[in-house]
Each structure stands twice: as C-alpha cells, then as structure tokens.
Structure 1
Amino acid sequence: MRVISMFLCAIMAAVGAVAQTPPEKRVALIIANTDYTNAARLPNTANDAGLIAQALRDPRMGFGNNVKVLSNLDFSKFRAALQQFAAEARGADMAVLYYAGHGIEVDKNNYLIPTDARLADPSAVEFETIALDLVVRSVSGARGLKVVILDACRDNPFVPKMRSVGGTRSIGRGLAAVGVDTGDTLIAYAAREGQVAADGAGRNSPYASAFARQVTTPGLEIRQLFGRVRDDVRRQVPQQTPVIYGDLGGSAYYFVPPAVAAQPAPAPSTGPAPAPQPSFDPRQIELSFWESIKTSKNKADFEAYLKKYPNGEYAGLARNRIAELTAKPPAPSIAEPKPAAPAESKPATASARTPGTVFRDCQNCPEMVVVAAGRFTMGSPATEEYRDDDEGPQRQVTIAKAFAVGKFEVTFAEWDACVAAGGCNGYRPNDSGWGRNMRPVINVSWDDVQAYVAWLSRTTGQNYRLLSEAEWEYAARAGTTTPFNFGETISTSKANYNGNFTYGTGAKGEYRQKTVSVGSFSANAFGLYDMHGNVWEWVQDCWNADYKGAPVDGSARSTGSCGQRVLRGGSGYDNPGVLRSANRIWTDTELRNYDVGFRLART
C-alpha cells in the first residue's frame, strides 16, 4: 500500500535525522545600533541584543561560544563585521544574523543604516548604508540553514529629511518585500511591508521579546517558530504583523531540536552483544508520518495514521480530515446532533431556562450562565483605537435563542477531572509553574479542546461546544458598544493584562506575567467573568480575514482557513488594546501555548 511505503520512508528519514552524527557548527552575529550620530537614540536595541544573545546561548541550541554581539557599528565597521562573519559562516550548519536598528527602503531596495550615516538626500543611500543583499550574502556560505532577522522597521527619522529634499526616488515606510533565491534561506522582518515596528515601552521591542520567548521552545520547526513569533507580536501590538520570506526546501530545521526520550538501561546479559541500534525519537517518526500525509486526499492515509496512533498528537486533525473527505455537501450547522436529554424536572436546554440562570450539569462540570437572545453590532468602528481591518465591516447579528456560556474560562480542575475519568486523550497540560485548580487551563490546542467537549457532552448527555465568534463577542459586550464591556478604557483592577501599556485615557498598572484564578475580577452585565484578558479563548470559527460573507445568525463560520481557528479576548501578557471586545486573531489548531485556554457554550 502507498501509505505503508510512505510510512517506511518517514521512519527511515526520522531515524536518519536523529542518528549519531558529528556535532553541528552553528554561528550567530547580533548587531545592535543604538547611538546614531544624526538621529535620536534607540533605547531598546542594546537590550534586545542582550536578550537575543542570551536566548541563542541556550546549550540546547548548539551555538556554544559562536554567538557574537556587536554594537554601534559605523559604515566601515559594519562592512568589516559582515566580511568576518561571512568567513565564519562558510560551511556552517546554521548561520543566523540578527539586526536591531534603523533600516530604510528606497526604490523597493532595502538598506540597514550605520550609526554615522547622514542621509542628507536620497542619492546618498547607496554610499552611506549597507544593502540588505550584502547582509544576505554574509550568511550564504553556510551549507545548512541561513537566517537573517531584521528588527529594523522602526519609525525612521531619516525618511522625512530625505523626502523634504525632493527628487524622483521612492522612499518607503518600513522595509520592502524581498525575493529570496538562495536555497534554505529565511529572512524575517519585525513588521510587514509598509508597517513600522514598535521599539517597545519596556526594556525590549515586542519582536525581540516574542522571538526570545519562542525560540527556546523544543521541537518548533522554524516555520512554526516564526508563525508563533508573529502571533505573539500581534497580541502585543495588533497593528504590527511580522512576516518572513524564504526559499526553504523539505528539510526540517530547529533551533532547539525535539527532545529525545531517555531509553531504559538494558538488562545484564551473558549472551553475545546485540548490534547497536540507532537512537531515535518516536515523536519524530510520528511527525514524519503526519507530514507525509497531511495534504492527502485519500481517506485511507488518515485511517492508517489513526490505527498506528489512536491517541497521537495529530489524531484530532486526522479525524477532521476523514470527516471532510467522507462528508457529502457541508451541513448547515457545525454543531453535532444533540443527544436525547435525560429525564429531569428542570429544563435541559439552555434556551428553555430563564436568562441569568446559573447551573452546573455535574459536580466537575463548568458552571454555566444562560444568556438571553438578542441583536448586536459586531465588529469595531473605523475610529476605535487599535482597530484592525479584520474587525469589519461592522454588521448586525441576531442571536435568535438563549444559550448558555461558561461563567468562567475552563479551569485546570475541570480539565484534570476529564483526564481522571479517562477522557481528553490522557493529556495533562503544563501549568507553567503558576498552579492548577481554579486557574484557567492553558497549553491546550483547539484540537485538544475538541476532546474535552466530546467527553463532557458524553458524560452529561448535553450538547457542549465552543462559542461561535459572534456568540463570543455578543457575550463579551453584554449590551455595550464601547471597546470594553466596562467602558472606553481599562485598568488592571478590572482585568489581567500587561499594565505597562495603556489604552485611551487609562493609566499604567500591574503586570502580573501569569494567569490569575478565574473570577478574580468583576463580572459583566451577563454575569460572565474574564471576557477581557487572563487567557486567549478558542472559538469554533475558521479564520477569515474579514466579515464579508459571514453568517448574520450567530452561527460559526465553517469555511475559510479551517486549519487556523479564531482566538478572542487577549491574555495577561497582552497590551490593553488587544483585549477589546472586537479584537480577533488566529492561530493553528494544534498550537499549545501558555496564554491560550477556552470557554464553553451549551445549547
């Protein structure tokens, strides 16, 4: 069978990838330009360089002493540094160059700005700056992965001066998109074309903070790593979207490789010594199997995966793909058929209960609040601070029937009850050292949540599910039209977020840097807690870039990019603009992160 041969190939590739090999040579150069002769000082670039260097010196990455940090390079020192690094990168298995400072785009060409540049007019750019092409050439001699990371899209003080001189040259805002024609090369920008990257209100830029936080995660393939960096930055600064350009082949690249499970010591034997066996990580073999079939249109491939890995990392995705490949025309609703309700004296369906009623279907079930039917305006007006285009166009949405919403985000205690009862695929999420019990469960993917929903529905005989995106915003607003359900601004006495940042006329406050127990702040008018902040909340909808063509009946959107789902509400790590009722982001369904949890609905 084709799938068996694919799997054998995947096994051989995985074993080969982790078999004993000579140590890799990895080199990194970090450049921070802070003190410009002819422009204001950039206060955070030196801090960023130190943060990135500390992250790359993690022993698990293998850079060792080959991480060099240089600062305040003028034109001649900049070129000399690149020339020396090119020699060091030649033949390396990984070469990384990280630059924090000013950059500029002129006529769709990109340049990094040395500290002594004057740039009195556009004609000076080729003579006083460093072309990005030269930077890329400095890593091109590496035989393996080549990475250039540019936190250089900051608001550039040279641009107004150059534009005031006039002339015919186009001078852009931020950096221009770039083509990559060198194999196994990735170029990362802190902000996409035409955007300006934030320098940050704290010690570090949002991009540097996000990269340092994500790069030390074991087993993040480089494309997934930069996807997480993008999501992390968007949560901090919604108007800044990091982007990558690259020419990457089929090889998997990691800063920190997947952890290899320790093998038990063999029992003493008096017989002949067995032939040495290659050391390999079973998870790498599973990943290779999944990568070989994930785009297949053959249902048998996914059935073969489930037979081999019934509780595997990608089991939820495999079942979804089987359902998609088996399905006839899509059903009008994504909700599963509701099982017959058990006999009870009180009404079983949420719509039959009085709005405001609080109930619980079992001892370890989430507490639910009945929310009344109604109509509201979804999305944000163009004048709302921090608004992004994906929050429109605004539209009227009707919630025709009452439904129940989790009074709180699902807690660790509730998730652990599922695991103890044999559900949730036995997965026990890490609590990041913050504690379990009444804290919101974190490190759960959208796929993990489906297992919890299935267990709870099966246990209670009721129809539990995630909220649709429209239901979530309706519940969060609770009849309001302001950015937050308590008004035009926000404070850390009302929600858990990064209090180093402000919104509107609000003041700075506390930055807790961890979750807090659910219900630590006041409820909204519907009796729901923590709709703003603490943890991001998964919803049911597939990602779409705007509301054009979206349902107006409150149902979830089941078309679009369904490998990515929507998150709402913001977290304790985000700036307050991210916590607005209308704000929305997306991430991959398999993402598990320390600031992502969920809340349930029941019909």
Structure 2
Amino acid sequence: IGDYRNAYVGKYEFDDLRNPVNDAKDMAKVLTNLGFKVILKLNLKTRAAMKKAVLEFRENLPETGAVGLFYFSGHGFQYQNANYLVPTKAVMPTALDIEDEVLRTDYVLRHLEQANRQGVNIVILDACRDSIPTDFFDDRKNKGLFEADFKAGFTNMQAPIGSLIAYATAPNTTSWGGLPNERNSVYTKHLLKALRDKPDVNITRLLMSVRKGVIQETKNAQVQQVPWDSVSLTDPFYFAQPTSITPPPPSPDPFAPGQVFSDRLQNGSSGPEMVVIPAGRFRMGDIQDGGASDEKPVHWVNVDQFAMGKYEVTVGEYLRFVRKTGSHAPEWMETGSDYNIKTGTDDHYKKLGSVLTNENHPIVGISWHDAVAYAEWLSQQTGKQYRLPTEAEWEYAARASTETKYWWGNDIGSNKANCDGCGSRWDNKQTAPVGSFSANPYGLYDTVGNVWEWNADPWHGNYEGAPTDGRVWEGGDESSRVLRGGSWYYNPSNVRTAFRIRDYPDYRYVSYGFRVAARAF
C-alpha cells in the first residue's frame, strides 16, 4: 500500500467518556497496519489546538493526490444547523462563545477538499455521545441561554465530490459510548472489526456491515443507534487491495437502510420506488406541545425495519392499475359521476387543471378502499407484500429521527413543501410534481403537505392505550380511517408531522392520496 495515505486521528479525554482514548489509539494502530501515515492527537484542550492539528494534517497531504482520512472520537453537537467538535476545555457561557470555543466540522471538510482535490477524502465522526458535559456551558448554569437551538446530534452534511462522511449515528440522534467493561464505543468497535477482518471490501459495503452490527447490538436499547453516511465517491475505494485483480462490482444489500428498490410487475415494468426504513424507536405525538388533544399523550414506539414509498403514488402509477383492473377509477374519472372532469357538472376537480392528469403528480380523488385495492394489486403483481403504512410507521418515517414540527425544524420556512403558506409556487393552487422538494433524512419526499396520505389504522381520538410496536391499532372508530401529512391548501400548522385527521374510508376528495409500504425485512 505504501505511505501515500495520510490519516489524522483525534480525541479528547472527558471523565465521562472512557472509550475515546482507546478508540483513537486502536484506530491509529489499525490504520498504520493498513499503510497509512498516522498523526495521532490526544487531549486537545482548545479550538486553537484542534485547528493546529488540522493544519498539520493538511500539510502532510501530498500535492499529487492521496487518501486523506480524518477520524474523530468524542463529543460533538449541532447548533443552528451547524455541526461542532468540542475540545476538552471548551466553555460556552452563551451562544456568542460557540465559534470561539469549538471547531466547525466544515472547517475540516474545507481543508481536505482544498488540499486534496485529486485524491480521496474520508471523514469518520464517532461523536454525538448520549451525554453532553455540563462543563461546556460553564458552572454558571447558562446552558438555557441557547438551549432551544442546541441539539445533541449532528445535522446531515453532504459529502463533497470525491469524499465520504461516515457518522456513528443518524442525523439528529445520539450514539452510545459503549459499555463500562468494553474497550471501545459501539460504533468504533464494529468499525475496527470490519477494518481488521475485511479491509479488501469496498468501503460502502464495509460501512454497511458496520451499520448492521451497530443496529443489532443496540436493538434493545432505549434509543437504537443507526450509523449513517454521505457518499460522493467517484470510484470504488478499498482499504486494502482486493484479492482479485479485477474485483467484481459491489452488489449493495437491497435491504440495507436507505437503499432504494423497485419490484418488477408481471409485464416487466417497475413498481413504485421504495426506500428501506431502518428499525428504531421514537416518540410519537405532539412532542413540541401546542397540538390537538388527539396527538397526545406522547409515547415511545418501536418500529421494525420496513419499506416505504419514496414518493406519493403518482397519477401514472395509479392509472396503470385502473387500466389493468377496470376498477377503482379516481372520482374525477368515474363514469356517470358529477365530478367527472369531462362529463360532470361539478368543478371540484377541474380547478386543478392539467396537473390532475399529469403522470408525475400525486393521484387524488381516491378513497381508503381504493388505496388498499392498489396495494393488494401490487402484491399480486410482484409476489411481495404491499400495504398501507400503519399510522406509527408513517410518523416514524416522516420524522426520520427528528422531533421537530417538520423534519427540517420548527419553522415552515420557504419553499420546503407545498401548503397554504409554505412559500412554493403551488401553494393553495394545486399539487406539486412528486419530488419537487428535498427528501427527509430517510430519503422520503413530500411527507409535509402536497396531498393527505391514507394510513391503514382506524381512528382513535387520542393515544391512550396505543400499541408500542408500530402495528395497526385495531378497534376505535372503524367507520373512519387516518390521514396524515397535510396538503397543498392546508396551512402550516396542519402539515406538522404530528397532525392527524380522519375521514370515511369510502370518501374521495381533491387532496386525498397515499403512499404504500412494503414487507418487513
């Protein structure tokens, strides 16, 4: 392998974090054995010391291109959508002190990107531990001065071209430091094992094996840890030369969290795109307070891994089903209906104009029974199990490891979704093409606004006695079914992730649509 690779390994020593010392030393040893020139820094007390270490690392990167690897073990946090690494003696009496006391992660990314444009850059962050030392905030108890914008987890960062960022845990969540009698953190333990056992595996598959190991080890923990990564590599990367001279292209595990797949229909065409949602545990309901009584009490729910539609079911996808079966036409196509856009007298649907029949817009005007029939048809066509998501699955996937009103925060912002007041060009006018806005951290589009989405569950007036395992909550008002997500002409308070409404299962409306869920894995 030679010495063309360079690695920086950093950590610090808070009393409540025993593992990072071992994490850093063990990573340094493994990387040295793999041919890296390692710069190991321990107990960096100040932001200046951390910057100095980063600059030393940069200076050691060859000008002709290299593999630059930055590994950090210890405390990190998120503040106002920026991520920070914390030195041992950081003291932040107020929010004004943050930039002077701690180091932004993008400082590291910028130096790597500028100094190693021709090479491969890898950043591994085993941070965001489940405890944040009160020392950060001085002994004057000033944490409250900026606690509302302070978050223990990292926000998602997009890897620059030619780079990879690996996180110990998913965005906006914390990681487990490790058991008292274990040498390493949960994440680094599995990372070390993968680097020792299979360094000749493509890095994306190597990180998949790390993710599976961490998910399995923390499945019974209060909060399950799901490692995450952002990849913009342009070529395969291996820590060690594969044994085969011409290694076959990697075959990603189609059932790994975040993977997208599409089952084949009987005519050879593709079904809807589905995203694998990781198993986990979350708080369901009105976490931010201020919501309706039917969003309470807030309660913990465990959800098994399953798949969810990447987009709301589109006009093109649904009408293919209608043409094949000759049934379950949307209300605006139904023969003899007053709402038929060609022969009817009511303009309820006509006001949507051409988007109503545009194949890339979400289907509307379908009932809960229609949505269930479509899912059953998909099951028959593919030989796989399709269904409507349960209400717990829907909120879990829509939240995507967040606890704010919307997956991006507590403010609706501008042009992040389609609703009456969302700041998009479709607001209070019509549906938007699916995928017009950014996806949430789980890779799902349009979980805020656009169209209401039918869920499998019958209606319950509140969450008293709700299941804790994510299944359909039977009983309740069987004459009504749940809809979630809001729509293009509802206001921002009604498109919150926790907001819920109900309607008759045979009722069809201009803003009612759905997305499908698929089998558990």
TM-score (norm 1): 0.41
Report the TM-score, using the length of structure 2 for normalisation: 0.47
Asked which structure has the greater CA Rg, the reply is 1
